[in-house]
Amino acid sequence: MTTEGPFFPGIPKIPYAPDAGPQDVLSFKHYNAAEVLLGKKMEDWLRFSVCYWHSFCGTGSDPFGFSTLQRPWNDGGTPMDLAKRRLHAAFEFFTKLGVKYYTFHDRYGSCFLIVSLP
């Protein structure tokens, strides 16, 4: 498997399609990022994000069972290979969804930041 993917083949960038029918599940029927509402674009009012860790690193396991999610980016390789594939899969997903932000909960706390400054 290549690092670059594609990891979501056959899925284009999700468009705004206000006239889409119920069968058109890969479209935004009400969200138009460029539409201006009260002086701001809709994308500025609704700043959607995707949780990187839970969406791309989670395995679907819980205290009562084993992993249930088989992800193509978690299929073998060194830990660094897996991390690179997950990152490429995530940004492919963000791009196709049109999401500008993502969340990531692994960060240094403020006390560590102060200690690490020169």
Residue of 30, 54, 88, 105 marked active site: 105
């960038």: which residue's tokens?
Answer: 13
Q: Could you give the count of Cα atoms lying within 13 Å of 99 in the half-sphere of its Cβ?
A: 15
Nearest to 86 by CA among 76, 74, 95, 77: 74
Residue 88 among the catalytic residues: no
What is the residue type of 42?
Answer: M
As given in the structure block, the two tokens for residue 76 are 């073998």
Spatial CA neighbour of 7 closest among 93, 97, 76: 93
| Residues marked as catalytic | 105
